[in-house]
Amino acid sequence: MDLQLDQLRALDAVISEGTFEAAARRLSVTPSAISQRIKALEDSAGRILVQRTKPVQPTESGLTVLRLAKQVQLLTSDTVRELGDENQPAARLVNIPIAVNADSLQTWVMSALGRAAAGVTFEIHREDEEHTTRLLRDGTVMAAITSTAAPVQGCTVRRLGAMRYRPTANAEFARTWFPDGPTAQAFAVAPVILFDRKDDLQFRLMRRYTRRPVDPPRHYIPSSAGFSDAIRFGLGWGMMPDLQTRPGDKLVPLDRAVHIDVPLYWQQWRLDSPALGMVAATIAEAAAAALL
């Protein structure tokens, strides 16, 4: 296949922006030029790469070529920066898309990204740590903080540490709903806070006590800060990371002896990229200071 750089850029822009018109604005060309580049790329690949829907969606083959497009753009930006040609737009900023779970993003990741921000822009995809590897596989992100130790194909993996979660409530809620402590009967009726419908952490904890499925009242709050505030304000109990506790919090663990440690790993594309390597180093340094 003879894959041209302008064609790969067009594919990335079309998938990222969702339409040929938006991709044309991003690349400062006409929609017709974008269409021609995508058609030439598909002819070279010998298969359809994008579904002409709104928004545009990549086919399975398109995801494979999209990953190549992002890799080529990253390495091109690194090379231009090393050559020192500051007149080239690619020499100024390298864009690195990363998938991060909400609790890490809320507590320790932002400080790391701040130290790594010189010459780099980030596109953060917030996703549960058990599902971030999907974004690596389909080429949406170049790196991810994940709970999966097995490396995604074409990626390297590094253990970062673990976040410790405890079953937590405010003191008044605990007295009202758990007067006899964390019993199976209390967990069956006490309101619980869930991040979203993929959040299984609270039910993992409850199974230690109930030994059977329970269906308590639940709140869904898809925000890390909102989740912890909901616990503070007494909407329910939830698995709260130690990193989110504050001095003076009127919070109590439902069981001081119980916690769940969620291991975290850094997975990234297997590329010799100075920019990506610098981001990985700052993430690892911040994790060493914050995690278990």
Residue 281 inside a domain? The answer is no
Residue 26 lies in a domain: yes
Tell me if 135 is assigned to some domain. Answer: no
User: Tens of pLDDT along 184-214?
Assistant: 999 999 999 999 999 999 999 999 999 888 9
Q: Considering the domain boundaries, does residue 63 fall inside one?
A: yes
| Same domain membership, residue 86 and residue 5 | yes
% residues pLDDT > 70 (the chain): 96
- Domain ends where: 37, 67, 92? 92
Split at pLDDT 50, 70, 90, the class of 79 is confident
Mean of pLDDT values over 63-73: 88
Q: What share of the chain is helix, strand, coil (3-state, %, to 5)?
A: 45, 20, 35
The contacts of residue 238 (CB under 8 Å, 6+ apart) are: 167, 168, 169, 192, 193, 194, 202, 227, 230, 231
Whole-Å CA distances, 147 to 115, 163, 203, 285: 24, 10, 18, 18
- CATH code, domain with 63: 1.10.10.10
pLDDT tens for residues 19-30?
Answer: 999 999 999 999
Which of these three, 92, 108, 142, is where a domain ends? 92
Round the average pLDDT of the chain to a whole number and report it: 91
Query: Do residues 197 and 220 make contact, with C-beta atoms less than 8 angstroms apart?
Result: yes
Q: What is the CATH number of the domain that holds 248?
A: 3.40.190.10
- Give the residue-averaged pLDDT of 132-148: 89
Co-location of 174 and 85 in the same domain: no
pTM summary value = 0.81
Q: Is residue 247 very low, low, confident or very high in pLDDT (cuts 50, 70, 90)?
A: confident
Residue (of 34, 69, 65, 35) closest to 49 by Cα position: 65
Decide which of 70 and 93 is more confident: 70
Closest by alpha carbon to 12, among 3, 1, 23, 2? Answer: 23
List the domain range (segments joined by +) for residue 191.
163-261
1 or 279, which is more confident? 279
For residue 226, tell me if it sits in a domain: yes
Compute CA distances 119 → 69, 116, 249, 271, whole Å: 20, 8, 39, 18
CA distances from 9 to 30, 51, 79, 276 (A): 14, 17, 16, 19
Provide the number of structural domains found in the chain: 2
